[in-house]
Amino acid sequence: MKQLILVFLGGGLGSVLRYILSKFLNNAETGIPYGTFAANIIGSLLIGIILGLALKNDSLSQNQTLLLATGFCGGFTTFSTFAYENHVFLKTGDFTSFAIYTIASFIVGFLAVFLGMFLVK
């Protein structure tokens, strides 16, 4: 039960911070989802750091990892919003934004995870 509460608390905090970030960074005029992009990249960097620490000499406990990686990063990052925003790009015929957003999200996201894990070595 304690583990479920930790994931719940971390996820709630991550979701609230993602909402705030998106509120300030998403651009309604251009439709460019800077906030979602930032949340996903920051979350990728954080999960690389968190899981890197968890693997490094057991620096984090299982409960800390659940709170931070599963809970916080799970709530902070969002694949569903990313998918919806790409749907909007395709629906409006903005294939350039679709391609740039999709490719940049995957490449920069993967690099952020690797960077996070590298930083804690």
Per-residue model confidence (pLDDT) at position 99: 97
Helix/strand/coil percent split, the chain, to 5: 80, 0, 20
**Would you write out the chain's pLDDT as a tens digit for each of its 121 residues?**
999 999 999 999 999 999 999 999 998 887 889 999 999 999 999 999 999 999 988 889 999 999 999 999 999 999 999 999 999 999 999 999 999 999 999 999 999 999 999 999 8
Per-residue model confidence (pLDDT) at position 40: 97
d(CA 2, CA 115): 31
End-to-end CA, the chain: 33
d(CA 81, CA 34): 12
Per-residue model confidence (pLDDT) at position 56: 87
79 alpha carbon, distance to own chain's centre = 8
d(CA 63, CA 54): 11
